[in-house]
Amino acid sequence: MSRLAAIPTVLLLASLAVPAHAEPPPAPKPANPDHLRMALVNLKCRTSDGPDAAANRAAVQANLARHLLFIDRLAADGAEFLGFPELSLSGYSFSKTMTWLTLDGPEVKALRDRAAAKRVYVSAGLPQQAPDGKRWNTHIVIDPAGRIIGRHHKIWLTKEKDHVEPGTDHNVFEVKGVKMGILTCADGTDRKNLQALVDNGAKILYGPHANTTGGTTAGWSRFRAAWGGRPSAAEEALLWGGLGGARHPILRAAGRGVLIPA
């Protein structure tokens, strides 16, 4: 199993523009193949669900600009995988007037271009509207060649329940030669989801979430109990990485608060 080095500190620098017409460069040969340097970003996002469509779009663009700034700085610091929170492009807030994004839209393209320019993996969240009109709480992973290699539709819905479809898949994909799966927020409290990813070969369980719990384990337990009942002792253990006698690191990128790499 790869050893992981978390990078908790993030600073902002000026971003570098990537021409819209530029083709993504080929993925580089990975340095330090036995290690994955990860940066998990605490990002307080602007919400984009108000009655003013123009203001909503401006909020999305402001969130996107912050993504690009963090990518520039963390790539310069040597990070290889940059993880952003649940719904990081839109903020975790829902209404009938909220802004929906697409996987082939300009926001995702900007992330793909910057991932390719900086030769890093980027994981970000968006409220996705598919071509068939279905809507999802989606998290994606982009590789250093600018390709979307991972995608997860949140399964266990909470506040977004009346606005999106529940996901059903437990997709696994490779990050620097190691298989990874995604558990968006509440997905990580259900043993079935963790077990399905491990059964599919995942060695890293990546758990982006929008933290409204104060950033503490106790706060998370209270929040979880409010909508799903209090976790059992076994579920609490699973949250922090023990599964089937083996230890699978669960890495969390939060909306605000404390990041806890298990």
Q: Which two tokens stand for residue 128?
A: 């996705």
pLDDT for 4: 38
Using the predicted structure, report yes or no on whether residue 191 has a pLDDT greater than 90: no
Max Cα-Cα span within the chain: 52
Using the predicted structure, report yes or no on whether residue 91 has a pLDDT greater than 80: yes
Looking at per-residue pLDDT, the higher value among 75 and 6 belongs to 75
**Domain locations along the chain:** 3-253
pLDDT for 8: 31
Using the predicted structure, report yes or no on whether residue 170 has a pLDDT greater than 80: yes
Q: What is the pTM of this model?
A: 0.75
pLDDT for 233: 55
Kindly report which listed range (32-36, 46-50, 183-187) carries the lowest average pLDDT score. 32-36
Architecture of the 3-253 domain: 4-Layer Sandwich (3.60)
Rg (CA), the chain: 17
Looking at per-residue pLDDT, the higher value among 204 and 214 belongs to 204
pLDDT for 54: 96
Torsion of CA 180, 186, 189, 190, to 10 degrees: -80
Contacts of 219 (CB under 8 A, 6+ apart): 213
Residue 132: CB atoms within 10 A of its CB come to 5
pLDDT tens digits, 120-168: 999 999 999 999 999 999 999 999 999 999 999 999 998 899 999 999 9
DSSP 8-class letter at 188 = G
Q: Could you give the CA distance from residue 92 to residue 64 in angstroms, rounded to a whole number?
A: 14
Confidence of residue 11 (pLDDT cuts 50, 70, 90): very low
